[in-house]
Amino acid sequence: MGPVPPDLNLGHLVGVQLNQICIGPYDLQFRFGDFVIACQGKVVVEADGQSVQVFDGETWGDARLLTKVSGQDAKAWAIEASHEFSVTLSGGAKLRFISTDCPYEEFVIHPQVWVV
């Protein structure tokens, strides 16, 4: 979709548990209580000293690292670069969401309806 909106605010995620990860054939969803990050773009998980691309919008990578992040609380979030934002979790893991300049939405965040 393009760059991360400069006014993106994920502060409402801080302190909320990542209680569900939904894996579909064409998307990946991270559910923090009532808040959802629906992904059709590149998702990288950093945990246990590893950095693994688990999804890129079309193909799946090694999704086993997802088991390490479920159940952790969101500790912080950041805009990392023009096309990347992240959520750091209580166990030290980090979820990285990386967009491109493709013509469709790669990340939709509900209920605020942020689109990246």
pLDDT tens, residue by residue, 10-42: 999 999 999 999 998 889 999 999 999 999 999
- What are the tens digits of pLDDT across the range 39-87? 999 999 999 899 999 999 888 998 888 998 999 999 999 999 999 999 9
114 domain-assigned? no
Structural domain that includes position 91: 11-109
CA distance 62 to 3: 26
CA distance 21 to 93: 15
3 domain-assigned? no
Is the pTM for the entire model greater than 0.85?
yes
116 domain-assigned? no
How many distinct structural domains can be found in the chain? 1
66: CB partners within 8 A, 6+ apart: 21, 23, 45, 54
86 domain-assigned? yes
